[in-house]
Structure formats: C-alpha cells, structure tokens
C-alpha cells in the first residue's frame, strides 16, 4: 500500500486504556506519534504526555471538547490531527494541530489531514482556526529566512513548520519566547522572595494552595483567571474574554487531577480590600516529575507597579522546590511584546531556548 491509499477517519476516544476497549490501541498509538514529533522537535521527552494524561484531556467537559483524526495505512497509524473546541466562550474558534510520522512525510498526507480537520471545524460552525508551531534555538545553526508576525515584534525561522502553516493561508499573529529555568543551580529562592516582598511593601500578603483553591478565595480566583484571557498580550489573535466563575474553577481543578498532575498556585491578597490582586500557576505531571510548566501569571491592572509579579513567581518557585523536589527545570512561554514579564523571568534565571509561532486563519462565511 502507498501513502496515497491512507484512510483518514475520526479515532474514537476510549473509555479506558484497558486492552478490552477496542479504541485503546489506536489512542495509545496516536499519543506515541504525537510524543514522537515533540521529541524530534526538542530532542528530549520534557513534553511527553502519558496516554492516561491525554485521555483525560480528550474527555469532553462543559469547557471544551476535542476531536481526534487518524491517517492509517493498513493497520499502521501514520498521521494524526487534533481539534480543540471551546464550549463556553470563543465558540467561533478552534485550535488545530497536525502531526505526521517521519516516514510518511512529503507525500501530501499532512495536507489531507489538515483539510479533514478544517472541514470538521467548519461542520461545527467554527470560523477562526488557531495553531502553534515550535522553533527551538539550535546553537551553531546558520541563520536563514525568518517570518515576522503582523505586530512586527519578534520572528520565527521560515522552516518547514512555518511554511506548512503559511501555505494553508494562516497568518502569523504573534511570537512567544520559550524559556527554561534550571532548578538545580542552587539558587536561594527564600532570599529572592524576601527581596521581592520587601520591595512590594506591606499592603500585600501571599496565599498558597496546591490542588484546590480555598473556598473563601475561589470567587476572586475566578476573576483572575477571567482577566488572564484579556489582559495578557494577544496581538491580533481573534479571542474574546473567557467567562469564569467558581464552578469553572472547580471543573478545571478536577481536570488537572484526572490528568494526574499537581497544580501549585501562589496568589497575593491586597490587605486593605481583602481581595486577591494576582496569581501564578505551576503544573507538574506525575508521569514526568522532573519537569514543571509555568502557566498563568497575572496581576490586576490596579495593583501593578509594586513588583508583585516578581513576588508571585519567586514564591511559587520556592514552594515548588519544597513541595515537589524532584522538579529540575521549568518551561515558560511569554509573548515577545511582554517585556515586563520577560525581564522578571530573566532576573529569576530563565534563559531563552526557542520561540513559538501563534497562527490564525479566518475561514470564509458560507
């Protein structure tokens, strides 16, 4: 059989990964293909997902659902496309991703998978497609052509991933810097936190939780999560403000538990008002405990100018070393135009290791 004979069809999401579930083997094969492409890009397994983790992510919820397409030649899965569909807000949009096994590339299979996933998005009424490409910094590599976003801030290499997106009429809207922090270099995080807290003054105190937000803070935390969807730089991406309440916070926390991950949150409370003024989130998957991922960091606009972002990050990194001592490194992503947060990260020891391209395509009506 040839690549031209590859059959593209939806892959059912298994109820479990037990061998008795007929969908389990295909799902595990899809996970391994996705993991393989990440390993090929980054040269390590820091982004590897355990099948159980991705299965929890693919289970539908009130917030989102996902579609998984597979390309098969005979009994072999040679390509995968995923579609993430927000359900509470941004219901005009969908996130797409296409991955093809190395031996099946440059024969049009990626194009066929993309066409199939675009049709699935259209069938669901989505008109804005979003996607991301990764571009590691490779020391010693010759510089070549680059692509700049509409904002004009930052660039990514015009490599095969960028060309694939551009050839399908996606526009590069934003560049994010990908940075890595080595936690094994002996930094005294207590000292860093003390210095940052002294500069912030006495009107703010730290709160911390792991797993579940305390009930008396959950409404404030929901507001922080909602503001994260609008206050972070978005360049020209067609995204609207998310709607968060206590129920959505609890559903998100349950999803993290289902994915077998630990979530560490540091927040600052404004003492005069009693309200939360900012937060930051770290996540560690138990299947790969040496790697942590920096998620949201936000300070509400009315509380900026006190160095609270530095306080939050130093506090959470100190907690990470205490609560999850196996963690050896932290990955983070920041918009290239977010110079304030980039400066904080650099001060804390993060070093740039790559860039991601945030791509967008507006589909025609009708």
Q: Would the pTM count as exceeding 0.85? A: yes
Of 152 and 29, the structure prediction assigns the larger pLDDT to: 29
Contact predicate 94/121, CB 8 Å:
yes
The model's pLDDT over 191-210, given as tens digits with 9 standing for 90+, comes to 999 999 999 999 999 999 99
* pLDDT score for 232: 87
Confidence of residue 366 (pLDDT cuts 50, 70, 90): low
Contact predicate 352/177, CB 8 Å:
yes
At residue 121, φ and ψ (nearest 5 deg) are -65, -45
Q: What is the percent of the chain where pLDDT is above 70? A: 99
The model's pLDDT over 234-275, given as tens digits with 9 standing for 90+, comes to 889 999 999 999 999 999 999 999 999 999 999 999 999 999
User: Distance (Å, rounded) from C-alpha 319 to C-alpha 190?
Assistant: 10
Residues 6+ apart with CB under 8 A from 8: 69, 70, 71, 72, 79, 112, 113, 116
Question: Measuring CA to CA, which residue among 357, 320, 329 is closest to residue 146?
Answer: 357
User: Distance (Å, rounded) from C-alpha 277 to C-alpha 53?
Assistant: 32
User: Distance (Å, rounded) from C-alpha 40 to C-alpha 44?
Assistant: 8
Considering the chain, what is the average pLDDT of its residues? 95
> Span 156-169, mean pLDDT?
97
Question: Measuring CA to CA, which residue among 114, 67, 88 is closest to residue 361?
Answer: 114
Contact predicate 342/232, CB 8 Å:
no
Domains in the chain with CATH codes: 8-176+358-362 (3.40.630.30), 185-327 (3.40.630.30)
The model's pLDDT over 37-71, given as tens digits with 9 standing for 90+, comes to 999 999 999 999 999 999 999 999 999 999 999 99
The model's pLDDT over 79-126, given as tens digits with 9 standing for 90+, comes to 999 999 999 999 999 999 999 999 999 999 999 999 999 999 999 999
Give ∠ CA 149-337-169 in degrees, rounded to 5: 20
């Amino acid at each position: 059989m040839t690549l031209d004979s590859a059959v593209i069809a939806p892959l059912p999401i298994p109820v479990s990964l037990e061998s008795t579930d007929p969908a389990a083997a295909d799902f595990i094969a899809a996970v391994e293909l996705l993991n393989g492409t990440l390993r090929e890009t980054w040269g390590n397994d820091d982004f590897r997902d355990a099948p159980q983790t991705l299965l929890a992510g693919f289970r539908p919820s009130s917030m989102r659902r996902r579609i998984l397409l597979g390309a098969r030649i005979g009994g072999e899965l040679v390509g995968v496309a995923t579609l993430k569909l927000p359900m509470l807000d941004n219901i005009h949009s969908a996130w797409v991703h296409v991955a093809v096994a190395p031996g099946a590339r440059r024969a049009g299979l990626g194009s066929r998978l993309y066409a199939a996933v675009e049709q699935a998005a259209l069938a669901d009424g989505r008109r804005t497609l979003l996607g991301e490409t990764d571009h590691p910094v490779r020391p010693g590599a010759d510089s070549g052509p680059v692509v700049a976003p509409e904002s004009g801030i930052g660039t990514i290499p015009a490599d095969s991933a960028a060309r694939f997106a551009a050839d399908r009429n996606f526009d590069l809207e934003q560049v994010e810097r990908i940075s890595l922090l080595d936690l094994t270099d002996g930094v005294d995080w207590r000292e860093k936190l003390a210095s940052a807290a002294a500069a912030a003054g006495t009107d703010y105190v730290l709160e911390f939780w792991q797993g579940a937000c305390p009930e008396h803070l959950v409404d404030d935390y929901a507001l922080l999560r909602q503001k994260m969807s609008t206050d972070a730089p978005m360049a020209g991406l067609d995204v609207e403000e998310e709607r968060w309440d206590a129920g959505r916070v609890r559903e998100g926390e349950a999803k993290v538990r289902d994915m077998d991950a630990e979530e560490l949150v540091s927040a600052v409370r404004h003492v005069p008002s009693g309200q939360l003024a900012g937060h930051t989130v770290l996540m560690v998957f138990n299947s790969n405990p040496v790697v942590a991922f920096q998620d949201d960091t936000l300070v509400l606009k009315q509380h900026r100018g006190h160095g609270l972002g530095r306080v939050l990050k130093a506090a959470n990194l100190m907690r990470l070393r205490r609560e999850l001592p196996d963690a050896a490194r932290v990955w983070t992503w920041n918009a290239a135009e977010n110079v304030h947060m980039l400066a904080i990260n650099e001060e804390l020891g993060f070093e740039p290791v790559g860039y991601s391209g945030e791509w967008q395509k507006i589909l025609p009506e009708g």
